[in-house]
Structures are given as C-alpha cells and as structure tokens.
Amino acid sequence: MTGPAPGSLASTARPPEPTTYAKCGVTLLFIVASLFLLVVLPVVVRGAPLRDDFDVCLSPRWTSGAERMLAELWPEWGAVRLLGRFIEQSIIGDLCGAVPFGAIIAIPLLTTFAVAFVLRGLLYDLEIPKPWPEIGTALWFLQPLGTEASLWPVALHIPLGLLLALVALRLYRHGRVAPAAVSSLAACWNLEQVLFALPLAVWVVTPERHRRRAIVVSSVVFLVLLTIFMRWPGGSTRTAVPLTDRILAIVTDPLWYVQYPAIGTGAVSIPLAVRWAFPWSVLALAVGSLLGVRYAPVLFPGQSSGGRQSGAFLRPALAFASLAVLVSLPMMLTLPHEHGPRVFTPVWLLLASFTAVGGSRIAWRRVRLAGGLAGLFAAGALLSLAFSVWVRLETADFTESASRWIGARVREGDRVVICDVPRTAVSPAPNGPFALHDFHEIWSAEGAIQYYSGRRVHVDRAGVYWDPNCANLLPADLVVNFEDLRRRWLSER
C-alpha cells in the first residue's frame, strides 16, 4: 500500500483526536459563521440594488430572454467568463421586480456559505487534524471586505466559481474524473482566476493512485478553455489584449503588488473600521484578544513536532505561494490592474486553506499568544465587515433619496447634470466598488433614478474623477450639486 505522494497535503497516520477539541472546533465555526451572518444580514434586509444591478434590472438587453442576453454578452466579452455572466444576468433580470431584491442578494450569500461547507469537507478529505478544518473554514468567513463578493449579485460568479472549483477538487481526489471535469469546466467558465491554478491544485490534493488521470483531465480542460478564451476574447478592453501587452502588464504599476494584498487582507480597511467605531472598536478588539487567549488552549493542544518530516510546513507554504500567484495571474496580465476586495477573494480562500493545513503542522508552544493574535484579527475583521455594511446601507439610503428627489423635478427624457461628485457618499469608506455610490457612473445614475422614480432621464456629472467644471456640461434641464443632495438626504432622517 503506497503512502501519501510527496506533493500531497494529506497527513500521515495521526493519533486519535480528543472529542473535546473536535467539539470546540465546531463551536468556533458556528460562532464565527453566526457573527458573519448577523453582521451582513442588514444588507439583505435593506435589499437595494447597486450600480450594475440597476442596468440588469431595467435594460431590455437583459430582460428580453436568453437569446438577447447572449447576443449582448458575446460581442463585448466573448467566451471569457461567459457562463458566470449569463447566470448572474439571468438571475437578476428574471427575478428583479418579481421578488424583493434582498432575495437576490441572498443568493451569493448562500453560495458563500456553500463554499464554507465544501471547503470543510475538502480539508477533512485531506485528513487535516481537528479542529483545523473548522479553523480554516471560520477564517473563510473573516475576509475583512468579503461583503463585496458575498452580497453583490453581479459578483455571484466569484463564490459560484470557487464552489465549483472546490467540488471539482473533491471529485478529483476521489477518482471521479468525469464529473470533476464538468465541475472544473464550469468553475473556470465562471471565474477565470481559477483557470491557471486548477491543474496545480489538482496535483496537490489528489492521492497518487488517482493523480495521473486527474492531472491529464484537468490539464486538457485548462488547455481547451485557454484556447477558447484566446480565440474568442470579445471586444472588451480587458479581454481583447495582445499577448505582448499582457506580458508587459506584469511589470507595469509595481505599486499594485502592495495595494492588492493590503486591501484584500484588511491592512487598510481594519484601521479605518477601528477609527469609524471608536471607542467601541477598542473594546471589541480587547474582547476578541482576551477570548483568544482564554480559549486557545481549550481549542487545540500544544502540538509536538516529534515524528514530523522536515519540510512538513514548507511544502504547503510553497503550494500556497504558487497557487496564489496563479490565481492572481489574470489580474497581473490585465491593465488597469484590479485590486478590489472581490478579486482577492480566491486568494483569501487559499489563505484560509493554508492556515488549516500549515497550522496543523506547526509545533505550537505559545498557544495563548497565538490565540490572542487570532482573536485580535477576528475582531478587526468583523469590525471591517460591519464598516463595509454600514457604508453600503448609508449609500443605498442616499441613492434612493437623491433619485426620488431628482425624479420628482424632471420630465421624461430630461437632461440632469450633477456637480462636484466625490468618490463615495459617506466618509470614511473602504476600498472597492461595493463602497461607491450609484452616481459614480452615468449608466448606474440613470438606472437608479428610473428604478426609484420611474423617470428615464439622461445624466452627466462632474467631479473628482472627471472634468470638475460643471459649466462645461451646460445647458441642462436640472443642475444640482452632489453636496446639496447629501444635505437633503441627511435632513430627511
């Protein structure tokens, strides 16, 4: 009988695990998942569309059936992420107006929970000692700005693509290559960030007896899809890019290599959230740290390093680093480089998995210190999530108020100019499109006004990212300053 393959993350024979540690791990996961749900649920209850959602809800391009939808998607995006975009547009276009919009927001949220369920199962498949599968899964919920991928219907392709990729990995691991190929195909066609990383991930998690077939099948899926994407890239400036320009993009904007992980890991948003919730944030951080110190020894024992192979931690670290680069490669090859929180979500999933795998292989000697730091981060991440939710709720209220006010003062087809438009409706605000207001783009402003007031108008704006001189946009049927809209909104509360 052969042992685990050199590249495999599966553990060797492990000793019996105390039931206490397993129960504590499940309790930790339940608490973190419940806190995450409690923090983000107000966005579902409020049920407001955001930016692209308005266009998909209202435009005949997306509400006139599947044939019209595909005819709109294909010229711009080609084959790239075609399945994911079609699923998103179909769900929003078919359900918008038929059900409360909060029910549509709940779909990516439920998919996020499904990712957690399958991730925990994969970690158990890899024979990671308890309670580390629960710890890694809990960390999945603690992405500091995970709201963008889990609460935005037009970002459904991210948790859905990750879910399908995890399902494919579990199927490959159990030797079921046919359904695994279908799942991996769907995953890559939902989320192109999966494409380059999936063959390596299959090699890492698949035992030796199934590895050769799994590698062959996953590599064929990769090559076929890569060929299709390159043959039919569409006309978008993000997809129809010459190969030389993509290679040059890797060394363009080196600051992105700092911004991308800083935004995604909460290095920017957590301090903002602490300032936003001060002084209660200090109490939250203190409680989180103290709980970590108190319960870390109960959650898992100090582990002995005896009997461990040299490099037991190095192998998963190298696998994580390689997969993180491959997952980020589509972002690296495209200009402008995206650094929003949702494009970091696949890396965060890798980070959560690596924490479970790597953490189980460390000889923990200062368990209380590690627990205190973990509790401190968990509290900071929950503060960041709450901060993002607050900004989203405030922005949704502002958008509705301003849209109704404008709609009541114009006629069908009038031209509206909005002056001095800032980046966000409230300040401070975290990075990423999830924090932007709907008057940031012309099409989303027009969609918001139509959605809330029923008026179809033409909108133009001047402000921080555009020509700041409103006089260049005149004449117009209605000219209004963004700050005046904000003051009216605040006075209504």
Widest CA span in the chain = 81
Q: What's the pLDDT at 21?
A: 67
- Provide the pLDDT confidence category of residue 200 given band limits of 50, 70 and 90: very high
Rounded Cα gap, residues 334 and 351, in angstroms: 23
* pLDDT > 70 fraction of the chain, expressed in percent and rounded: 93
- Residue 40: predicted pLDDT: 97
Q: Which residue has the higher pLDDT, 399 or 308?
A: 399
**Whether residue 104 has pLDDT greater than 80:** yes
Q: Which two tokens stand for residue 151?
A: 């609460």
Rounded percentage of the chain residues whose pLDDT exceeds 90: 68
Beta-carbon count within 10 A of 206 CB: 26
pLDDT in the model for residue 466: 84
Q: Give the lowest-confidence range in 104-108, 243-247, 321-325, 375-379.
A: 243-247
What is the pLDDT at residue 11? Answer: 43
Cβ 192 vs Cβ 239: under 8 Å: no
Alpha carbons 314 and 445: distance in angstroms, whole number: 50
Of residues 132, 207, 212, 201, the one with CA closest to residue 168: 201
Q: pLDDT value at position 445?
A: 94
Distance, CA of 355 to CA of 331 (rounded, Å): 24
Highest mean pLDDT among 19-33, 75-89, 469-483 belongs to 469-483
Question: Range with the lowest mean pLDDT among 66-70, 197-201, 326-330?
Answer: 66-70
Please name which of 135, 203, 177, 167 lies closest in space to residue 355, comparing C-alpha atoms: 135
Per-residue pLDDT band for 3 (boundaries 50, 70, 90) equals very low
Half-sphere exposure of 391 (CA within 13 A, CB side): 30
> What is the predicted pLDDT for the residue at 50?
94
In angstroms, the Cα distances linking 47 to 93, 99, 346, 379 are 15, 10, 26, 26
Closest CA to 389 of 422, 345, 426: 426
| pLDDT tens-digit map of 295-317 | 888 887 654 444 444 456 788 88
Amino acid at 109: L
Residue 18 has pLDDT above 80, yes or no: no
- In this structure, the number of other CB atoms found within 10 A of the CB of residue 16 comes to 5
Residues with Cβ within 8 Å of 412's Cβ and at least 6 positions away in sequence, in order, are: 455, 456, 457
Is residue 487's pLDDT more than 70?
A: yes
Residue 17: its pLDDT value, please? 52
The pLDDT of residue 392 is 97
For range 83-91, the mean pLDDT: 91
Residues 6+ apart with CB under 8 A from 160: 84, 87, 108, 111, 190, 191
Residue 365 pLDDT: 81
pLDDT score of 329 more than 70: yes
- Predicted local distance difference test score (pLDDT) of residue 35: 97
Record the tokens describing residue 3, joined without a space: 């042992």
How far apart CA 352 and CA 346 sit, in angstroms, is: 10
pLDDT tens-digit map of 370-393: 999 999 999 999 999 999 999 999
Count other C-beta atoms under 10 Å from residue 268's C-beta: 18
Q: Averaged over 26-33, what is the pLDDT?
A: 95
Average pLDDT over residues 4-32: 65
Split at pLDDT 50, 70, 90, the class of 252 is confident
> What would the pLDDT profile of 168-179 be if each residue is shown by its tens digit?
999 999 999 999
Provide the pLDDT confidence category of residue 492 given band limits of 50, 70 and 90: confident
Give the Cα separation of 205 and 207 in Å (integer). 7
User: Worst-scoring range by mean pLDDT, 4-13, 123-132, 208-217, 352-361?
Assistant: 4-13
**Could you give the CA distance from residue 441 to residue 443 in angstroms, rounded to a whole number?**
6
d(CA 161, CA 31): 26
pLDDT at 72: 83
Range in 93-97, 298-302, 399-403, 454-458 with the lowest mean pLDDT? 298-302
Mean pLDDT of 234-252: 78
Average pLDDT of the chain is: 89
Say which residue the tokens 């060929």 belong to: 227
Per-residue pLDDT, averaged over 174-186, amounts to 95
Position 374 scores a pLDDT of: 94
What local confidence, expressed as pLDDT, does residue 16 receive?
A: 40
**What is the reported pLDDT for 10?**
45
pLDDT tens for each residue of 202-230 = 999 999 999 999 999 999 999 999 999 88
Interval 465-472 mean pLDDT: 86
